[in-house]
Structure 1
């Protein structure tokens, strides 16, 4: 095999900077999964939080994810590696206060809420920087492979971290368990600091306010037909899924009689499907095309809800639901990896952070509204009908994608070097 042939077949793993990023993402996700078990256990079991306080903790933890435009603007304005390191250290510092306060008997639910806000803000800033940095770490033809590896590593790390969190909470208690998450952020900061890749210098531009940078980013996304369509499809799909997810677990556990262990098995089987989808996404896209891969992933989602709506309380149906969830998450991650790579390839480097934060804001911002919508629908209808409406809403993004040029895309286009409108130009 010639040197040229070997270079052509090189994957993202061949880039040392990408390996550091992948390791950093896996470490932080594993640690954060521990906290997803430890923090609720700490609030409910040790602090005896009321239902209102538990809801406040959950809401404040998710709030930064619904308002991420500022993070994207900062990511595009400043070097990304220092932002990732600062976010990791801020998260670690916030987490360390929990066992310290617990040790002296001063821990309160409101301190947990404050830590949740810091963690959420650190996460959105870190994610905006990391996702927008990725195209600079790998060659354009390695971008899909890089996203696939990140997606698979995320799924495995999340599952492993959740299991480790359950063990740690039982062994050392929830307050001390969060030290594992704090340590993961410190390790991540060290890994990111070892990256040795220069960030591309941006063209000199007039200094503008953060609000102006955000507005420029929103206008840029609005002027990119493919990026705009994908983000619109993602936000509508997120809304439909969130309507269903509001009562999905309740429906399985209460109406279909699934026990907690069976529920865990169903989720575990589905997670395995997600890992497979992430790993195989580049091969699927190479076989059927990047556009069809994205569209099939969206189309499978409403179809996969049909067994749930028809299911009854039996082992046979539980097996069917587990298999269906695995298929759904397989295509969801394959499609998600593909559409993320497509957006990154089409987006100008100067707008990568703001493009991603616009997507996150719309998709995450749709979930609280969807939960409220689901609550209102249940008052008028019943749980099964509410789930059916959520499934029906998931047809809308398929129509958006089929009506766009995405359906004809077979490969990921080359990255656009110049945005269609100059930054700071009037709309």
Structure 2
């Protein structure tokens, strides 16, 4: 396979546009974590929402993720920076209407539904544009370091934002607390405005191509790239197995294992610490054992980390074991996550970055509702522990997929493709040629960050 011979000793932090992207993502993620606490509290405490209305609010928050393929196509068709600025400003505007309506006494649950949908749509657009813009901000050899820093910032921002949200709700009430999220989106928009880099698309769509055709071309492109296709298949399979387990994971800990809410929080905290460490150390791990080994190890640790859960019994000793297992699992999951995302970005033609990322989001997120329904059926037919076991066994499948792919022999980050052929919409015309990585294993030269 063709790889970079020796990467310069620079990190993504050397790129000023990347620093702006990192700052904007940290700001918006922190603010969104505040809203994740404030909006449900507002519905329950101020609007006295019923359990059904709370369920509808949660459903509407997830519904716009079904537009990921559309957002990816728009991201590849238009310049990404204006999309990011517009989505942030739209989110800030929607959030400001909540305290304004509450102040005048006209806030309703329907208003909250509408704001939730707007936030979901802007998040879908923002995520598609931001993740596909990253390869334009850093050098190819800096991709993994960039994703590592973004992963670490995400972990810290989410935790800090959730804690800040709880404090703000207690001090100022839920309606006023969402102003912190509005300010975070304004800051994010300002930082994106300061980014000045040339983009693959100048904002003018070629010809009269429709979005449906762009989406179809993106799906065909992903299906025509063996390594990208295999990694996304592994991600969706792992997501399904984890979602089967996560449906009853907390229930099993709190009931069958008699874990107290305090102990449950400590276990979750250990997992968060492991995730942060994995994000920070991912480039060093990949440099030491190889990029492919890092990705496969992250997938392989996941089913192994479920063994303590399936063997656990009530007691403090098992609680320590569960906290340790979750920390190890999320450490490797995050290290593998930043590595596989960097690999897909490095292999993907810039014209398809948004659609490739959207395809991954669609199949990965789309597996979770189906997995939750499957878990419910399994529990009705069997029991909770057996359902957890089935979810753990399913997580072995993606490991087998990766071991049978060129990822297994990948030592360092491959060079980006020099050219890529757009897959034909119908018969006729050349098919997209395989990237060097997809032709089979060859020697590679290890790199250092």
User: 1:351, 1:401 → 2: CA distance?
Assistant: 23
1:88 alignment partner, SS class: helix
Hey, what does 2:107 align to over in structure 1?
Answer: 107
Shift of 1:205: 4.0
1:67 alignment partner, SS class: helix
Hey, what does 2:198 align to over in structure 1?
Answer: 198
Task: Give the conservation status (yes or no) of the 8 Å contact 1:66–1:362.
Answer: no
1:200 alignment partner, SS class: coil
Task: Give the conservation status (yes or no) of the 8 Å contact 1:220–1:419.
Answer: no
User: 1:344, 1:291 → 2: CA distance?
Assistant: 15
- Structure 2 residues without counterparts, runs of 5 or longer: 1-6, 432-449
Hey, what does 2:439 align to over in structure 1?
Answer: none
**Larger deviation, residues 312-321 vs 298-307:** 312-321
User: 1:382, 1:200 → 2: CA distance?
Assistant: 52
Shift of 1:186: 0.5
Task: Answer 1 or 2: which has greater helix percent.
Answer: 1
Shift of 1:201: 4.6
1:413 alignment partner, SS class: coil
Hey, what does 1:136 align to over in structure 2?
Answer: 136
User: 2:26, 2:425 → 1: CA distance?
Assistant: 37
Hey, what does 1:318 align to over in structure 2?
Answer: 319
Shift of 1:419: 2.1
User: In the alignment, is residue 19 of structure 1 matched against residue 19 of structure 2?
Assistant: yes
RMSD (CA atoms): 1.7
User: 1:120, 1:249 → 2: CA distance?
Assistant: 26
User: 1:389, 1:105 → 2: CA distance?
Assistant: 50
TM-score, length basis structure 2 = 0.91
Pair 66,311 (structure 1): closer, same or farther in 2 beyond 3 Å: farther
Task: Give the conservation status (yes or no) of the 8 Å contact 1:81–1:192.
Answer: yes
Hey, what does 1:127 align to over in structure 2?
Answer: 127
Cα-to-partner distance string for 1:299-331 (whole Å, 9 max, x where unaligned)? 111111111111122111111111111100000
Hey, what does 2:372 align to over in structure 1?
Answer: 371
Task: Give the conservation status (yes or no) of the 8 Å contact 2:76–2:201.
Answer: no
Shift of 1:52: 1.5
Task: Give the conservation status (yes or no) of the 8 Å contact 1:223–1:420.
Answer: no
Shift of 1:423: 6.3
Task: Give the conservation status (yes or no) of the 8 Å contact 2:220–2:423.
Answer: no
- For residues 332-371 of structure 1, the aligned pairs below 5 Å read 332-371=333-372
- Structure 1 residues without counterparts, runs of 5 or longer: 1-6
2:255 alignment partner, SS class: helix
Task: Give the conservation status (yes or no) of the 8 Å contact 1:281–1:337.
Answer: yes
- For residues 341-420 of structure 1, the aligned pairs below 5 Å read 341-420=342-421
Shift of 1:254: 2.1
**Larger deviation, residues 411-420 vs 277-286:** 411-420
- For residues 178-327 of structure 1, the aligned pairs below 5 Å read 178-201=178-201, 205-327=206-328
Pair 133,423 (structure 1): closer, same or farther in 2 beyond 3 Å: farther
User: 2:378, 2:53 → 1: CA distance?
Assistant: 25
**Larger deviation, residues 351-360 vs 31-40:** 31-40
Shift of 1:422: 4.5
TM-score, length basis structure 1 = 0.96
Cα-to-partner distance string for 1:44-67 (whole Å, 9 max, x where unaligned)? 222222222111111110112233
Shift of 1:207: 3.0
